[in-house]
Structures are given as C-alpha cells and as structure tokens.
Structure 1
Amino acid sequence: MNNKINRRRFVLRSIAGSLALPGLPSLMSSALAGNSAIAQSRGAGAGAQRFVAVGNLLGFQLKHFFPEKTGKEFEETTLLKPLAANRNQLTVYRGLDHGLRGGHFAVHTFLSGLLHHESKNRTDGNVTIDQFIADEIGNQTRFPSLTVGSEGGIHGGCQLSWTKSGVRVPPITGPAELFDRLFVADSKQVQARKVKENSLQESILDSIHDEARSLSKRVNSEDKAKLDEYFSSIRDVEKRLKLRQIWSDQPKPQAPFDKPADKNTVEDLPMLYELIALALQTDSTRIATLEIGGSFLPQHLGINKSYHGLSHHGNNDESIGYLVTLEQYQIEQFGKFLTRLAGIPDGEQTLLDSTAVLFGSGMGNANSHTNSDLPIILAGGGYATGEFRKVPSKGPGKVPLCNLFLDIAQKMGVEKDSFGTSTGRFS
C-alpha cells in the first residue's frame, strides 16, 4: 500500500497548484500592484527595447485600409490617413495571418497563432508574443508586462494575452485602475496582507514541490514527463513570486496628474494610451498590450448602432460608413500614441525608436468571419521603414504572422529560434 501512489491526494495537491497559476501569472498585470519605480537617476532603462501590441476585436474595413501600391510610395488610404504624420515611422504589412478559421472564436489567436483548445500538448501552449517575451526579460521591471482591456463586450472579456500555462491574463480594465497600479502606493494594511499572502504561497509551493519531487521517484516514464511539466509550472510561479517580493518595498513613480475617472471605452482610449506611454517612460514595464474590444460603443462617437452589429454589415454602404468612422477614431488615437512616444527622449533616441508598436486584429473580415489577410502595422523599434509590404498569402511562399513575431522577440533580446507556428524569422 505504501508503495502505491495516492493519486487522489496528488491530484488534489496539483489542483491547489494549478489554482495558484491563474493568480500568479496575473502578477504580470495585477498582483504585482504597481509599476517599476522611476529610478531616481535619469534615464532608467534608457535605450532598452520595448514592445506594445494593440489589438482590435472586430477588424477593419480592408478595402479602406490596405493600399494598392507597395513600397515607400504607397497611397494614403482612408484608414491610413490618420497616420500621415507617422508615415516614415511605420511599416504596413499585407498577407500575414495564422492560417486559421473560427471567426470571432479565433480572434484570441492574434498574438499566439494557436487556438487555445488545440494547444494543450505544446510545450509553450498558446502563449502570446507579449508573454513569450516577458518570460525572458520581464524580470527587469516591476511589471513583466501590462495587459489592458475590457471584460465587457461580445464573447467575454479581453483575450489578447495568454501564458504558456494556458491561462488568460486578466486585463486592467480602465484608466483609474491602471493609474493606481502605476502611481498609487499600497496602504500599510495592504502591504502587510501581501506579505502574509507571499509567505503562505511560498509555503504552499514548498509543500507541492516536495511532494512532487517525492512522487517523481516512483512513477513511470509517462507520468515523469507530466511531472516535469508540473515542475516547470512551479518554477514559473516561484519566479513571479520572487519578483513580487523584490518590488514590494520599491517606491512607485510620482503621478504627473490626478487620478482619471473611468468613462467609457471610447473616451478612455486616449488616457489608456497616455498611461501606457508613461509606464514605458518610467521603465515600469517594457511590454504592454491593449485590446479594443466589443465594449467599444459607437454611441459615444454619435453612431446609434452596435459595434458588433455594424461589423456584420452585409455590404450596406451606411453601415460601412459608420464602421470607417469608428475605425478612423481608433487609428487616430494610435497615431497620437506614436507621436507621443516620438516626443519622449530615451537616452540618445526617442521612446518610439526603442519601442516596437504592433497594431492590428485577429479578424480580417468580420462581415464574412474570416481570420485571414490580417491588417498589420508595425511602428518604431526597428520597423520605421515607411513602406507597405505585401507578402504571399497562399502557396509555398506564404509567410506566417508568427515569423514577424519571432523577429520582434529576437530584436527584444529573446534568444529563441521559434515562436508559435513560425517557420523562421521574418525578413
């Protein structure tokens, strides 16, 4: 009896550990409770590579988005006109996608290239490029990454960011919460509670680790492989817990303005961009994502329609016109964000020079529910070519979007030779 594995006891322990995983990976955005203090000396993190990804849940009107002419002489389409001032600081891509189908239920693959339910047996699961990078370099700042979005709208909340453990990273849902994370110090009571939580979590991890290590001596090769994966998860949690402990006593930067109030997804967008810019400037994080989701309400742009309903426009000219209006607004705010980064000194260059900024969607054509031919813009951080690049979208020459993501990761200093469904580095 003593030589047999008490599988029920192990499963219960494992569940305890796995329940901790969704909480602890969210240290990447929530449990870390703050941003990297602006080191008192100037130029904290100056020149360090950074990455921001902005995703739209319902895509863009591709006929109004993509130019016809490739190269530097591409024409300014209706949706690219708001980026005229940033033209030389970006690259527009066409023909990139993940080769997937699923409509709205595949949009979550935008930054991973993999459907969540088809990634169970992969070493890195459906990890998204932001978390892939954060796992390697995120320990250099208080926040390994920031995930900003909404928990409202169609098909649940923000699903832009996923860990390699298959856990959705819950978003910071508005400017008020993001401001608190960046600039507001915890009260002494909260600090004391977190110390107790850290101690308890450390104790639980020690117990789980000891039991798993003991079990590893008595299992077959198949179970040994499962335990190895489990050990990897434990190490990830331990790393994040250690990071939280390191930053718990470090001061946060001083707030440059009063705490903003949450309004709505449309009116909050400029402030969210501003706070992300400040997070990068203060070296609080070097990785951030922002999802513009189904809770984006056209009513706040004077359009008395639902965003989701409009996306199924059936080629109705009036509906397409409304969509172009709200998409122009989104792209205009993105352009202002680029201009803001370009105006912030970062050592001998600008913050935009140091930051690769991705803008696009996991939806190509929402009207037909396609996830192909995705709208992709990359700005700053080594992608300021001023070009429109069109790559083969079919056949043997097709280039996966993950190739571009791998290029971003390697420019960030991640020494890996593959990501998601990549077939090589984008060139």
Structure 2
Amino acid sequence: MLTKSNSFSRRTLLRGIGVSMALPWLESLSFAAGEKTNAAAQPPTRTLVTFTGMGFHSQHWWAKGEGAGMELGPCLKPLEPWKERLVFLRGLWNEQANKGAIHCMQTGNMLSGSPLSGAEVRTGVSFDQLMAQRIGDRTRIPSLVLGCEGPIPGLQDGLPLLYSSHISWSTAVSPTWTETRPALAFDQLFRTDRNRGDRRVVDAVLEDAKSLRLRLSLSDRQRFEEYLGSVHEIEGRIKRAGKEREAGGWTPSLAAPDRPRPADGIPAEIPDYWKLMNDIVLLAFRTDTTRIATLKYCNDGSAETHTHCGAKDQHHQMSHTQPPELVPLNQFFMAQLAYLCERMSEVKEGDRSLLDNTSIMHCSSMLHGSHDAKQLPIILLGGAGGRLRGGRVLDYLNSPNRRMCSLFLHLMDWGGLELDQFGDSRERLTGIC
C-alpha cells in the first residue's frame, strides 16, 4: 500500500477493498527508490509459451532467408510485420514423444521431454512450472496457465486423453490447472476477495491511484493512465461476454436451462475469446503480476470447427486431410502472435518495449496432422531482454543436439533460472544466442 513517503518500490501495489493491483514498470518509481543503478530497476524478462495442436499445413509451414529479406510461408504470413523479431526453428524434437503414435502421447511431454506412461498418467514437470517453483516467488502469482478449450476426458486405445489437453504440468502426475474462463483468469490477477464482484477493480483502488499520480513524471502519468484504462476496458468486456452469449448467436435446445447458468461468461465467438485471453496475458505481464505464462489456444485432437475461418470440418479432421481451408486456420493461429507482438511493442519499458523484454515460444506437438513428431514446428518471438536476435532461420535437423529441452534451457536462462540440465538435455542449442 502507498505511504506518505517519497520512496517507492517497483513492487508497489495499489490496494482497495478486496483488490490488489501490481503496477506496471514505471521509471519514476525506480528512481524514487534509488534503484536506477541496480539490476532490480531493469524491466524483468517474461516467458510466454503459446500452443496450438496438430501442427500446420505440410506444404506451407516454412521460412527462409534472414533479416528484412526473410521470406515466410503462407501459414506464417500474419507475422510478416514481425519477421525481424522472429526466429524459425527447424528440426527440434522430443524423442519420447515418438514412442506413441496418437495425439495424446505426442503432447503430454511437450514442455518436459519426459517419458510418458500409457498405463497411468505420468510424465514430468514442465519447464514453465519448474520456473514457477524455483523463481515464481518474485511475483504475486508464480505462473499464469490459460487455455481456450477445456480438457478432453477418457481414453483412446487405452491411453489417457488427459495428455492432449495439458502442456503445463506441476508434478509428474498432475497437470497444472488450466483456466479457460476469462473472468476467473482476470480475478487471479487482481482480486483478493472474489465475493466482491459488484465493484470494478479500477474503482476500488482510486484513492491509492490519486496519491500515486502526484508523484509520477509526466511520461509515467501517461503510461499509468493507459494502464488503468486497459484494466477497466478488459474487465468491461469480460462482463459483457456472458450477456452476449446469453442474448444471441445460438438458440438453446431446451425451453429452460437444465443446469445452472455459469457465473462467468465466455465469448460466443472464438476470435473474441482468444483475443480476450491474449489481453489477460498482456495485463499479467504489464503489471508484473507474473512473469511466466502458458496459453493453450486449442487442444491436440481439437474437435472445434472454425467457421470464422471458412472451415467446414473439425480442426482434427482438417489436420489429417489438409484441405486448402487449413491455411486460413493456421494463419488465424499466427494472427494471435502478431496481435501479441503489436500490443507488446506498444508498451514502453524504459528504453525498450514489453516485446523486447519477453521471450515467446509458439509450439505444436507435431509438424502436421499425419502425427509426424520427428521434427516440431517451433518459432521464437520477442527480444528476451536483449538476448534474442530475430530475423533468422536455424536448422537443427541434422544436428547431434536437437532436443527441445536444450531450447528450454535457453528460455529458463532468459527468465532468470539457470540450470545445468533439464529433461533429456545437458547442453544448450548452438546458435540461439
């Protein structure tokens, strides 16, 4: 809580009844606290993993060249404005994921590289959750784990489909809870008393906000006002989402509900839903509520039909048959990353942007729907705090070390956790840095 002192910590919180809001990175706070020459005064590096299941169109997932002359295949076209911030990785794999030929056995160890048990649920702790356990206490929330599709229950050929629904694992037998409801994801960031849903977050902290404004520089005041505005706007969209789903877009099959209406709304349209979850990640990073996040846009084996992209079949079916309509769907996936890059680049943090201070890895569990997991479609975006240079294609297909876990060692380094080994790797990839 703010005090009358002129000294502030960068971890200063705005508080109100039932609400706690961390602040975005502000130069004035670091200066007042005498932190300008301290490493703690530098904006933190955030780590974001995004995931879409079942790979991409086999003929149109490629990149070549470098820098401004880099060429992107059709699936990657939405990232054209960001190609100089992009690293295209070819040839990486999880060896253990090639011991089962169905989707779930190629997904459950996506972020751990651990062996998968078929008889019972058992894999390994994912690298994002290892970071959360080791260094997550630097923020109020150790990590944010979001998804846009619920878990797939049951078995396929006697194997647990639970693996298809989770990329983040807290223990070898327990996937991390994946929040799919925007309102509850938002509550994780800001609400300390979830029973007080009748008051907006920004309204609850107005007194603290007024006190802080007086002590900020002109440029920081503008950042602060933009931040409060974005919190207010997104909270409003979350509340409207439930009403919109109830009011239109589909007709209930019953004259009256046969179960209680969910308290938290999910947008009826997939593009609105995914954008809202992107914005919650952005808020989490902007406020330094967490520095580690995963966002699973869809499951492996997803049965969603993306009619908004012109699709007529389910995503799973399209991944196998690879019709021309799969390319617009793949482009929709990449448009999510383009949106994140655009929004992150607009957030200034000292001499850099939020994009400069974030490492984004997008991954899928197979190259395309034929269950080819011998090389995985992986791209990196952002600057990782100045340690990642974009505009490159790196080919590891014939390298003696092409383990995904070797890439995870880099991602953990950039996020602040340096390890000698992780999963099946004891060495980092060559050429990344």
TM-score by length of 2: 0.68
Match of 1:385 in 2: 390
Distance 1:40 1:355, change over 3 A: closer
CA deviations on 1:348-387 (whole Å, 9 max, x unpaired) are 3111111110012112221x21212111111111323210
CA deviations on 1:197-231 (whole Å, 9 max, x unpaired) are xxxxxxxxxxxxxxxxxxxxxxxxxxxxxxxxxxx
Which segment is superposed worse, 331-340 or 62-71?
A: 62-71
Confirm or deny that 1:256 pairs with 2:232: yes
Match of 1:126 in 2: 124
Confirm or deny that 1:117 pairs with 2:105: no
Distance in 2 between the 1:392 and 1:35 partners? 50
- Indicate the SS of the match to 1:359: strand
CA deviations on 1:259-310 (whole Å, 9 max, x unpaired) are 4221244431111111101110011110000112225431233322111111
Confirm or deny that 1:173 pairs with 2:184: no
Match of 1:229 in 2: none
RMSD value over aligned CA atoms? 3.0
CA deviations on 1:240-261 (whole Å, 9 max, x unpaired) are xxxxxxxxxxxxx883211422
Unaligned runs of 5+ in 2: 1-17, 30-40, 154-160, 198-227, 242-265
TM-score by length of 1: 0.68
Measured after TM superposition, the shift of residue 189 of structure 1 is: 8.6
Identify which of 161, 182, 186 aligns with 2:168: 161
Unaligned runs of 5+ in 1: 1-33, 191-252, 314-318
Q: Which amino acid aligns with 1:59?
A: G
Distance in 2 between the 1:360 and 1:84 partners? 18
Match of 1:42 in 2: 26
Distance in 2 between the 1:42 and 1:119 partners? 51
Distance in 1 between the 2:329 and 2:358 partners? 26
Distance in 2 between the 1:36 and 1:56 partners? 32
Matches for 1:4-153 after TM superposition, within 5 Å: 37-39=21-23, 42=26, 47-69=43-65, 73-99=69-95, 100-101=97-98, 102=100, 103-105=102-104, 106-117=106-117, 126-149=124-147, 150-152=149-151
Identify which of 339, 343, 347 aligns with 1:344: 347
Distance in 2 between the 1:80 and 1:393 partners? 24
- Indicate the SS of the match to 1:378: strand
Distance in 1 between the 2:352 and 2:87 partners? 19
Distance in 2 between the 1:419 and 1:346 partners? 31
Measured after TM superposition, the shift of residue 73 of structure 1 is: 4.2
Measured after TM superposition, the shift of residue 347 of structure 1 is: 2.9
Q: Which amino acid aligns with 1:142?
A: R
Distance in 1 between the 2:21 and 2:49 partners? 23
- Indicate the SS of the match to 2:108: helix
Distance in 1 between the 2:329 and 2:417 partners? 36
Matches for 1:202-351 after TM superposition, within 5 Å: 255-257=231-233, 258-260=236-238, 261=241, 262-263=266-267, 264-293=269-298, 294=302, 296-313=304-321, 319-351=322-354
Measured after TM superposition, the shift of residue 40 of structure 1 is: 8.4
User: Does structure 2 retain, via aligned residues, the 8 Å contact 1:373–1:393?
Assistant: no
CA deviations on 1:137-175 (whole Å, 9 max, x unpaired) are 101111100111121558357311002343101211032
Q: Which amino acid aligns with 2:389?
A: A
Measured after TM superposition, the shift of residue 412 of structure 1 is: 1.8
CA deviations on 1:21-77 (whole Å, 9 max, x unpaired) are xxxxxxxxxxxxx99732488368851111000011111124211135578744221
Distance in 1 between the 2:152 and 2:327 partners? 20
Which segment is superposed worse, 172-181 or 135-144?
A: 172-181
Distance 1:87 1:68, change over 3 A: closer
Match of 1:203 in 2: none
Distance in 2 between the 1:153 and 1:74 partners? 38
Which segment is superposed worse, 140-149 or 290-299?
A: 290-299
Distance in 2 between the 1:164 and 1:281 partners? 28
User: Does structure 2 retain, via aligned residues, the 8 Å contact 1:109–1:362?
Assistant: no
User: Does structure 2 retain, via aligned residues, the 8 Å contact 1:417–1:424?
Assistant: yes
Q: Which amino acid aligns with 2:142?
A: P
User: Does structure 1 retain, via aligned residues, the 8 Å contact 2:303–2:314?
Assistant: no
User: Does structure 2 retain, via aligned residues, the 8 Å contact 1:145–1:286?
Assistant: yes
Distance 1:128 1:393, change over 3 A: farther
Match of 1:420 in 2: 423
Measured after TM superposition, the shift of residue 398 of structure 1 is: 3.7
The structure whose RCO (Cα within 8 Å, separation 6+) is larger is 1
User: Does structure 1 retain, via aligned residues, the 8 Å contact 2:63–2:88?
Assistant: no
User: Does structure 2 retain, via aligned residues, the 8 Å contact 1:52–1:355?
Assistant: yes
Distance 1:271 1:295, change over 3 A: farther
Q: Identify, as 1 or 2, the structure richer in helix.
A: 1
Match of 1:235 in 2: none
User: Does structure 2 retain, via aligned residues, the 8 Å contact 1:130–1:288?
Assistant: yes
Q: Which amino acid aligns with 1:273?
A: N
Q: Which amino acid aligns with 1:422?
A: S
Distance in 2 between the 1:171 and 1:420 partners? 22
Distance in 2 between the 1:419 and 1:119 partners? 25
Match of 2:409 in 1: 406
Distance 1:189 1:36, change over 3 A: closer
Distance in 2 between the 1:307 and 1:89 partners? 29
Distance in 2 between the 1:89 and 1:388 partners? 11
- Indicate the SS of the match to 2:355: helix
